[in-house]
Amino acid sequence: MPSNSYLLDTNTIIYALQRRVTLPSADYSISVITEMELLSFPQLSNQEEKVIRKLLSHFSIISLDESIKEKAIAIRRTKRLKLPDAIIVATAYINNATLVTSDKALHTIAEINVLELDNLLSL
């Protein structure tokens, strides 16, 4: 059963910004990896950075800790995921959050609940 706590993946935030969607009321967080990915695009303008930072201020940002690190290592040893994706999946798992992502590879991870942005918007 999906929780009322959601971890937003990088692609979800990008799509939400592009589509100017309003997320339903819930407990939202992001991984520090997502924060880093969003703010490190080489062509990011100062205005875009301000918009992203303002948006991110509304979310809890979950840093790496020992439990997330160990879970990410275990996930990488059993799944074919890039390290940032393994960290994001581990973050959702450890925090008992539903991962909101459009990344099809992450929809195959049985240990976590996963939703597409459009499915979240229709709840």
**Percent of the chain residues past pLDDT 70, beyond the cut:** 98
Q: What is the pLDDT of residues 19-29, one digit of tens each?
A: 999 999 999 99
Q: How confident is the model at residue 123 (pLDDT cuts 50, 70, 90)?
A: confident
Q: Provide the residue range defining the domain that includes 93.
A: 5-121
Residues 113 and 99: beta-carbon distance below 8 Å: yes
Gyration radius of the chain over CA positions: 14
Helix (H, G, I), strand (E, B) or coil at 114: strand
Q: Give the count of domains, the chain.
A: 1
CATH classification at residue 39? 3.40.50.1010
- The label of the residue with tokens 């973050």 reads 91
Mean pLDDT taken over the chain? 94
Instruction: State the pLDDT at residue 4.
Output: 86
Angle formed by the axes of helices 32-39 and 46-56, to 10°?
A: 160
Cα–Cα separations (whole angstroms), residue 92 to 17, 19, 52: 22, 24, 21
Quote the pTM value. Answer: 0.94
pLDDT tens digits for range 60-71? 999 999 999 999
Q: What three-state secondary structure class fits 101?
A: coil
